[in-house]
Every structure is written in structure tokens, then in C-alpha cells.
Amino acid sequence: MIPEDRPIVPLGDLAHTRSGDKGNRSNIGVVATDARHYDHLRACLTAEAVAAFFAPMGIGQVVRYELPRIHAFNFVIEQALAGGASRSLRLDTQGKALGTILLELPLPAPDPVETSP
């Protein structure tokens, strides 16, 4: 369990991201900057947390997939692009900016990582 009095940090302190489109879906790849934070991210960076973060845009369902060997996640977001690349009226028709924006998602800070053995 993560104690409730943990300081809050943006996801960008713990991970880097890349996003793009497939039809009307967007996917956001999230890679832990430090592999030792992967389990912490697995506990906090849930599909529900990402869905709640993007909820104001009117997105659909969010599914999370795990790639533990490269300490990464893939989030697939339904109806993220208001009609898809060739139809959306939005400036970011391809969801290119969504990965960067996700870096603002607030998370509890992880346990301090031991830097010396």
C-alpha cells in the first residue's frame, strides 16, 4: 500500500512517453525512466487513472498493457481523436501531443531509490 501522505509528483518525473493514432484510437507508450520504479507505476498508473485524467476530452474506454522486459506500459484509448486523423476537426488529429500531456498526471512519489549498494 502507498501511504496517503506521500508527496505528489508528475508522471514526467518517473517516466517518458510517446503517442500516436490508429483510426479513432490513440495509444500512449509509457516507459519507466528508472526500472526500479516500474512496480510503483504498475500500482498507481492504472487504466482508471489515465481514463480519469483524460475524461474532460470525452474519451472512451482505456486499456493498459504491460511490457515488463522494457519496463513499459501501453495505454490504448478509445474515441481519443474525435473521428480520427482524416476526419477530426481538432488541431492534434493524430494524438501526437497526448503522450506529452500525460506527463502532467499527478502520482504519489515512489519510495526513495537506494543510490548506493
- Rg of the chain over Cα atoms, rounded to whole angstroms, equals 15
User: Between vectors from CA 76 to CA 4 and to CA 81, what angle results, nearest 5°?
Assistant: 110
Report how far residue 20's alpha carbon sits from residue 72's, in angstroms, rounded to the nearest whole number.
16
36 binding other proteins? (CB under 8 A):
no
**Integer CA distances (angstroms), 72 to 14, 96, 108, 114, in order:** 12, 18, 18, 21
Three-state SS at 102: helix
49 binding other proteins? (CB under 8 A):
no
The stretch near other proteins (CB under 8 A) out of 1-9, 38-46, 61-69, 107-115 is: 61-69
Q: Given the complex with other proteins, which of 3 and 52 has the nearer CB atom?
A: 52
97 binding other proteins? (CB under 8 A):
yes
Minimum distance from CB of 1 to other proteins (Å)? 27
Q: Given the complex with other proteins, which of 44 and 98 has the nearer CB atom?
A: 98
Candidate list 36, 43, 74, 111; residue touching other proteins; CB under 8 A: 74
